[in-house]
A and B are shown apart, each in its own frame.
Chain A
Amino acid sequence: MASTTAPPAGLSSRHLLGIEGLNPLEINSLIDRGNVFADIIQSDNRFAPPLSEVLRGRTVLNLFFENSTRTRVSFELAAKNLGGSVLNINVAGSSVKKGETLLDTATTLNAMHPHILVVRHNCSGAAQLLSQHVDAAVINAGDGRHEHPTQALLDALTIKRRIGRIEGLKIAICGDIANSRVARSNIHLLSTLGAEIRLVCPTTLLPAAIDAMGVDVFTDLEAGIEGVDIVMMLRLQTERMEGTETPSQREYFNLFGLDRNKLMRAAPQALIMHPGPMNRGVEIDSATADDVERSLIRTQVEIGVAARMACLEALVGTGGAS
């Protein structure tokens, strides 16, 4: 059995709303603790005490205003691994359709005294707004175009387990940057830990003044991934787009889609990541996505549970979930 004796991660806040604002110690502590949990999951001792006592007697509400099976299940598994009770509420299909506001929902849920709220919402800042009106600790599971902190943590943990470090790596984040909360969280996290971040996307998908976040911007995929250690592809978020940002999916794949030929411009052993779900043939082709030597995409999903366990445990440790 893997050791569980590493100290639990600590946070200065009772909520986890974003990577921006976390210091390197907090980030590293979450990643290190996630690493311990990843070992435990892989050894299949995840339900053994004392780990299963961390959330014993505590209720985790997965409150998803936006559909996301992958993230919801990942949080659910993480909470159950730690002994918590989990309730999944697909708000998009219930009270909201009857006209209830976000804060009405918060008030109602607050009366049920959950300990942790895991919130996914299509509006930037929604998790922060909720955190101001509930007693529970809030984990942002993705808010609009703003942040998706647990995705960034699991991405960092995935990289660290494979390469052993983040500092000094060259990482290209490619695709729909403007609409991506994953990109923002990863820019904050990976640059805080010393990686060199490049962004690659068409100018129509580039948010204003993004270079102020300390990144280099490229509008040519092959130039952007030249010599990089990690190519992190993003989903073309057609549901968030007006339909005018790119002329066609076919053209997008030609210019910005990743295939084996373009990947040859990256470092020889460069790895591929994608937060999923993928649009095969749009931002990445299947042969590249499924390349077991180079692709970390499946590993990201697996590691996600461990990273989220570290976050849940940290909130218990900071008293937010008590």
Chain B
Amino acid sequence: MTDLLLHNARVLDPAAARDEPGYVAVTDGTISAVGAGAAPEALVNGATQAHDCAGACLAPGLIDMRVQSADPGAEHLEDLSTLLRAAASGGITSIVALPDVSPVVDDASMIDSLSLRANRIEGARLFLYGAATRQLQGHAMAELGLMADAGAVGFANGSRTIMDSLVMRRVLSYCSMLDRPFIQHCEDHNLTAGSEMNEGETSTRLGLIGAPAEAEAMIIDRDMHLVRLSGARYHAAHVSTRAAVDALRRAKNDGLPVTADTAPPYFMLNELSVSTYDTAFKLAPPLRSEDDRQAVIDALADGTIDAIASDHIPVDGDAKAQPFGPAQPGASGLDTLLAMTLSLVHREHLPLLRAMELLSLAPATILDLEGGMLREGATADIVLFDPQASWVVRAADFASTSRVTPFEGLPVQGRVTASWVGGTQVFLRT
């Protein structure tokens, strides 16, 4: 007996290069049939629940591989419940959270505890990165093996690069042994100390301290030597510069096990947005030059950048209501991830299937997660969206309780209609 039938849809499956009218059937949380054209009458009549998609796009649920949670430690900003429900409303069926919460996710009990709590919430699935070093201090390695056993899908040092090359080598060596990827925030903190925005003409004009773009590529270049030594899978997070893209391209050409993601601000905006000192544009990494933005778009198109993540950070409005320098970096991203990525499709930078690959198949592959495809036997994490539906970004309307966005007031096209996690509907736009 089919539990759910989603028919009269435009079925998108990047794993099968499928983009055609069709249907998807779900039984016991798993996709039991995918077909082209109209669903067989027997399937329609035999389904417990049939959903006419009215020609909208049916795709693997989005997998957001870089999300900052505020729970535990700052639940007033956003707790796990609102985070996972907001993700579901953005078409995201799995999120992978960074370890920088309070207390830090640097031991197995934190992984257990958060996973158990997430299982009780109807919304997106929660996966966790373990902290690579104790308390994210960058000095002593955390208990990576125990965290891997508890379910850590990879390791990261949060928003801090491990600057000590010996520690970094040891972490990569352990990640290789455990067959987990290491996720790097690429920034030479010695070079960017005190910085407030991207270095260039705009920072000079505004009197803000600039961070050179090279600080991102320098870490990638250093780490590539250590990847050669360790054989670890290495993932560069929120890549934002042409220099970093070039470094990644070299590494990939050399056959190193390297992947990368970027986030919507880095292909949608450039440093000129900072000109009004609006702290919604204070991000880490900072908004870069127009040349960098173009390089990021090119890298998404040619495969140098493998995935797009939301880079969601719940930010306190008070922490943004400050002068630009001391204001906290970060912004909300769950509600806008799909629409911003689709803008690359509408502007003909990417085909629609490539966009879906960046948002689902690629993160699933990088992190060895289920999902990311619509084929028989796959987990039924699915998103339904109308790629043409137009709306205007208004943070006040976000499902996320974190309502700071650099895209405020931007007209966009593409909106989530419904999402299912394991065949259970977790969001329906009414």
Query: A228 interface residue, CB < 8 Å from B?
Result: no
Cβ-defined contact, A103 with B321, below 8 A: yes
Interface residues of A (CB under 8 A from B): 20, 101-103, 121, 123-126, 128-129, 143-147, 181, 184, 207-210, 212-213, 242
CB distance from B241 to the nearest CB of A (A): 14
* Given A128-B277, A242-B194, A20:B205 Cβ within 8 A: yes
Tell me which residues across on chain B come within 8 A of A125, comparing CB atoms.
206-208, 277, 323-325
Instruction: Give the docked Cα–Cα distance between A101 and B326 (Å).
Output: 11
Task: Check B194–A184 contact: CB distance below 8 A.
Answer: no
B322 and A124 contacting across the interface, CB-CB below 8 Å: no
CA distance A208 to B322 in the complex (A): 25
Stretch at the interface among B167-175, B196-204, B395-403: B196-204
Q: Are B324 and A124 in contact (CB under 8 A)?
A: yes
A242 touching B193, Cβ below 8 Å: yes
A123-B326, A125-B277, A184-B207 known; 19 new pairs, CB 8 Å cut-off, are A101-B321, A103-B321, A123-B322, A123-B323, A123-B324, A124-B196, A124-B206, A124-B277, A125-B206, A125-B208, A126-B323, A129-B322, A129-B324, A143-B323, A207-B203, A208-B204, A212-B201, A213-B204, A242-B193
Instruction: Report if A144-B204 is in contact (Cβ < 8 Å); known contacts: A101-B321, A103-B322, A129-B277.
Output: no
Pick the contact of A208 from B199, B276, B277, B318 — CB < 8 Å? B199
- Min C-beta distance of B137 to chain A, whole Å: 22
CB distance from B70 to the nearest CB of A (A): 20
Q: How far is the CB of B318 from chain A (nearest CB, A)?
A: 7
Contact with A along B34-62 (1 / 0, CB 8 A): 00000000000000000000000000000
B204 A210 Cβ-Cβ under 8 A? yes
Interchain Cβ contacts under 8 Å between A and B, 14 examples = A101-B318, A101-B322, A121-B323, A125-B208, A125-B323, A143-B207, A143-B323, A145-B209, A184-B205, A207-B210, A209-B200, A209-B201, A209-B204, A212-B201
Chain B residues near A (Cβ < 8 Å): 193-194, 196, 199-201, 203-210, 212, 276-277, 318, 321-326
User: Among the listed A103, A147, A208, which residue makes an inter-chain contact with B201, where contact means beta carbons less than 8 Å apart?
Assistant: A208
The docked-state distance in angstroms from the alpha carbon of A144 to that of B276 is: 15
Structural contact, A124 and B208, CB atoms closer than 8 A: yes
**Cross-chain contact A123 with B325 (CB below 8 angstroms):** yes
Which interface residue of B193, B196, B323 has the most chain A CB atoms within 10 A? Answer: B323
Q: Who on chain B is nearest to A207 by CB?
A: B204
How near does chain A come to B191, taking the closest CB pair, in angstroms?
12
Q: Give Cα distance in the complex from A9 to B286, angstroms.
A: 40
| Nearest 5 interchain pairs by C-beta | A146-B207, A125-B277, A123-B323, A145-B207, A209-B201
- Expressed in whole angstroms, the Cα–Cα distance for A56 and B277 within the complex equals 34
Contacts of A20 in B (CB 8 A): 205
- Bound CA–CA A121/B322 (angstroms): 12
What's the least CB distance linking A266 to chain B, in Å?
26
A101 CB contacts on chain B under 8 angstroms: 318, 321-322
Residues of B within 8 A of A128 (CB): 276-277
Contact of B323 among A129, A208, A209, A212 (CB under 8 A): A129
| Nearest CB on A from B207, distance (A) | 3
